Amino acid sequence: MIHLSLTTKFNEQLFDVNFMNFTDTISSIHHHLEVAEDELTGWLKLPMNMTIDDLNAIQFLSEEIKENADVLVVIGIGGSFLGAKAVREALSPNFTKNQNGIEVLFVGHNLSGSYMKHLIESLHHRDFYVNVISKSGATLETSVAFRILRQYSVERYGQNAKQRVIVTTDPENGLLREIAIAQGFRRLDIPSNIGGRYSLLTPVGLLPISVAGINITEILQGACQAAIDLEVDDIEKNEAYRYALLRYKLYSHGYQVELLASFEPRLSYIHEWWKQLFGESEGKDKKGLFPASVNYSTDLHSLGQFIQEGNPLLFETFLHFNNISEDYYIPFNRVDDDDLNYLSHRSLNEINAISKQGTVLAHAQGGVPIIQIELEKLDAFHIGYLIYFFMKACAISAYLIDVNPFNQPGVEAYKSKISDLLNLESIVNLVAE
């Protein structure tokens, strides 16, 4: 389902020697992950455990929203928005995103006043629902946006506003859960044993994705297939483990940055989701690869020079879907004043794939190690497969460098500084009054 390969100057050394040396390590990590019930590993079996009733509940709600609204406003940040946005972008047409569903707008992932003003203005003449998503239930950006959208909903819909608010949060804890209970908002659960960045296949991702008109059953089928394929405790057969090991070997050789690269603009938010997944899972105890990304061929004309000849601190992971159903052909031009007739009648996807091959060759020649992840087709099934593949590979990668893949203690530092500053300012303002 996923094909993985590595091209580097010292290909043999990395590939052949080290895989088998890691059999025992991988096996013990594999078993740890399977039995680590105290940790946030609920996502591992989630695709298999999802019942028809769970799925129906999300789909019914999605139908209700599509019938009664022009827009779904999703409030959330980090793992509570990146996945839905990534899948929506990857599987929707570039310029008419709401072809089979309704428009989904994201807010609460920044504190920009102009972003909020423009968002509210864009809602003035349209009907909307709000889906606020937060695992902790107390994230500043999300809470601020929710307060604003709650008030605006009441201005627009009066007493009926609460019918239009869906709260997705932890089933047992958190301020948002308390608000939802007190106000009578409908709730969807993020299972307690699944952390934010591993929550894409829960209602966190599934409701907005379904409202956007994407088939969530196919996404889950793909994830289920991945869960089955990637359950084997055998490095030769488990592509997620092989990817984790390749990254680990490159990291051990001194590479510090992994650059996820695609030639399809619709994948740019998959990159963003992947960055949070790997960045927060691995980046602790002064360890971890820095996850960065490039969108080609656009970035060949900006970062390409550095990648080819600059500081050799990075390796590239190319993400490629072999079939993309939408395509366009280059027309024949009788005059040929642009000298492009040698390309006439060839498809852009075909030329794009060739430009990927050329880039791989050039960068490998420049000394950049290259991992390639190839999937058959850009569709809901394969996106579901890819999501699960990355989550599994990420957990294994973090354990390989001996860090906990499921916490993010460093994020608290900036949160408490912001909170200190905001509280200090409130006190100063109070005294000034």
Ligand X SMILES: O=P(O)(O)OC[C@H]1O[C@H](O)[C@H](O)[C@@H](O)[C@@H]1O
Q: Is the peptide bond before 262 cis (omega within 30 degrees of 0)?
A: no
Nearer to ligand X, 238 or 276 (CB): 276
Q: Out of 59, 136, 256, 404, name the contact with ligand X by CB under 6 A.
A: 136
- What residues numbered 190-209 form the site for ligand X, per CB under 6 A? 196-197
* Count of beta carbons in the 10 Å neighbourhood of residue 35: 10
H/E stretch holding 133 reads strand 128-134
Which residue's Cβ lies closest to ligand X? 78
Residue 193 CA: distances (Å) to CA of 40, 393, 411: 5, 18, 19
Which of 89, 239, 280, 379 is in the footprint of ligand X by CB under 6 A? 280
For the record, the structure tokens of 345 come out as 């009648």
Distance of closest approach, residue 142 Cβ to ligand X, in angstroms: 5
Other CB atoms within a 10 A radius of the CB of residue 9 amount to 13
DSSP, collapsed to helix, strand or coil, labels residue 287 as coil
Does 109 bind ligand X (CB under 6 A)? Our answer is: no
Q: Is 222 in the site for ligand X (CB under 6 A)?
A: no
Interacting residue with ligand X among 14, 29, 40, 77 (CB under 6 A):
77
Q: Which stretch binds ligand X (CB under 6 A): 134-142, 144-152, 155-163, 332-340?
A: 134-142
State residue 377 phi and psi, 5-degree precision.
-145, 145
Site string for ligand X, 313-332 (x = CB under 6 A): --------------------
Q: What does the DSSP 8-state code read for residue 331?
A: P
Nearer to ligand X, 190 or 370 (CB): 190
Min CB(390)–ligand X separation in Å: 15
79 is a contact residue toward ligand X (CB under 6 A) = yes
The alpha-helical segments, DSSP class H, found in 212-267 are 216-229, 239-252
Least Cβ distance, residue 166 to ligand X (angstroms): 15
Question: Dihedral of the CA atoms 295, 298, 299, 305 (nearest 10)?
Answer: 150
Catalytic annotation present for 377: no
Question: 244 burial class (0-12, 13-18, 19+ CB within 10 angstroms)?
Answer: buried
Size of the site for ligand X (CB under 6 A): 14
The residue range among 53-61, 67-75, 132-140, 335-343 that interacts with ligand X, by the rule CB under 6 A, is: 132-140
> Smallest Cα–Cα separation from 81: which of 63, 47, 54, 108?
108
Instruction: Tell me which of 42, 47, 78, 83 binds ligand X, using CB under 6 A.
Output: 78
Q: Which of 142, 238, 281, 295 binds ligand X (CB under 6 A)?
A: 142
Query: In this chain, which stretch among 35-43, 49-57, 129-137, 343-351 interacts with ligand X, using CB under 6 A?
Result: 129-137
CB of 415 to ligand X, least distance (A): 8
**Phi then psi dihedrals of residue 347, to 5 deg:** -90, 150
Residue 37 vs residues 47, 54, 393: alpha-carbon distances, Å? 17, 22, 18
135 contributes a contact to ligand X by CB under 6 A: yes
Under the criterion CB under 6 A, does residue 295 sit at the interface with ligand X? no
Spatial contact of 247 and 396, defined as CB atoms under 8 Å apart: no
- Among 388, 415, 393, 396, CA closest to 202: 388
Answer yes or no whether residue 139 interacts with ligand X by CB under 6 A: yes
Catalytic residue among 34, 415, 417, 425: 415
- Annotated catalytic residue 67: no
Determine which one of 264, 280, 282, 316 is catalytic: 280
Beta carbons of 250 and 397 less than 8 angstroms apart:
no
Active site residues: 280, 415
Which residues bind to ligand X, rule: CB under 6 A? 77-80, 134-136, 139, 142, 196-197, 280, 408, 411
